[in-house]
Structure 1
């Protein structure tokens, strides 16, 4: 917040989102009240400006009233910056018009209409609560215009020059100080709210990030065993079948021994990415179970096609064509074996039983020569 009580642009936009509608309601209400009170001063012209009384009434009713109603209409329909400038323009008309009428009136009592000026300043600075930078412009210009009229109006009573000058200056100071105080409090209050909200948002994001870390396998970037357990239990609590597939990389120890653990880690990352993509394509879930083992979950729609899905999964890893010359079974690329089990088979609804059945099926696939799948 600077010396003109301007907040950073992003904060100004946030405040408008939060409180713009409330300010618009306040402004429209104040405009109507201000119009009613302002036009009561038509009665004073009967006594204080009798020489131009018809003109004063016409100026108020034909200039100020339509202008104020136009601002009333536009306030909720224009951008915030233009809205505040419209208010400033309306307040200039409301303050400078009486000064102009005072200047042209030849009535001996015209100077008493200056009592209207502090009320106009009060209305703009304290009821409309012009933004401080605009209130400063409004108050300064209005006061300078009033002082010019007091000092340069022909036939102005010299005995009134000093006291009216004091009234104008003090009215300027008090209403502008009041505006500064209210506006400063508004800015400080919202800045504190904005900062608190930002801290809360950052804390929430950090919490989400930490939670993601606890549910993500650090090597492969896909969900870890903990995330798998939570997801499996959640899926089993829902109605519908669940297909669970255990996947193991064939001859992975030989791959590590031949190429080293760095290459082994790269291999696991590529396989994890392929499994994750495969699972997403079938509205499923993929996680690293541990070591070179992975687990995939599929819902009711996929459960009926277990054999087809398992065979496609095995083929998709084989199609990666990751070289594996250390194999002793005649194949030269990395492959996987898969075992799967579904809840619909035997009415199994316990996570442990489902994993056990899929694990046994995986063992059968590996015993049968690997690079294949088996049902549990």
Structure 2
């Protein structure tokens, strides 16, 4: 468990061998040397003891989401100060602004108020967001500017406390949405993906060769959000189609009519394949693929052996159909072929039961 640390203790003993053990004892295991030096330089601006630099969470990472914050300070009323550390004089201000806005989204869910800062130790410049979420900054080399800054005044007045295990405060479920039940929040991007969702998404997006790929999504991973976020990203720069195995629900119809999403139910999709009337797509995502029949998969294999596209059949092999014992359902036949993989390429020139070794 990550424990709070004293920034003065770190700065005063940075050259001592014992400082590493101090960090380990506080659960601070991933602090890089440049971040350590950034802390030392930041502390040097607070020479007096009037600024409380104790009870600071260093390098806290939210569970499941893997969202990390460099420095977090809480008071007893759950006001938060977040300080991010940079050590590159050429670090882009656009990235600073984007990170602070992103941090604000996560922290606001658990805070009474949030103040966000980024300190670049190479340029001795401090950044923050104004009320319009626009980046402002000043040089800390000017002592007058520093002493009159909002940063200094807030640090002087702030009384940080130890809140114990932050995992009990940050609940990943607070940041997850359903594209079907919270469609407006989904379209605005007010959500995040868990670590496991991002890993699977990255594996899919890394696929570059045309073909059909079976994608295993274990129960509980939050497949709808992962899939719809992936589709939302891909369709910005590629021709993309989403196929639902079943009838379209109200949200899917709405996305198709009002957002311009290309979405088809499986019957229309298969009908277009058989008639060779499907328009060209770079990516095709087939959702609820565990419900696909072997016959339908073979139709896809024949079609995409002659037509290029990256096709993902996305489903849970362990999920049984309510109307069948799965003997005629495709995913149940290839479950042993997955092994430890989540994305498996299919052979298009043979039966749909075959997978590439």
TM over 0.5: no
TM-score (norm 1): 0.20
Larger Rg: 1
Which structure has greater strand proportion? 2
Which structure has greater helix proportion? 1
TM-score (norm 2): 0.21
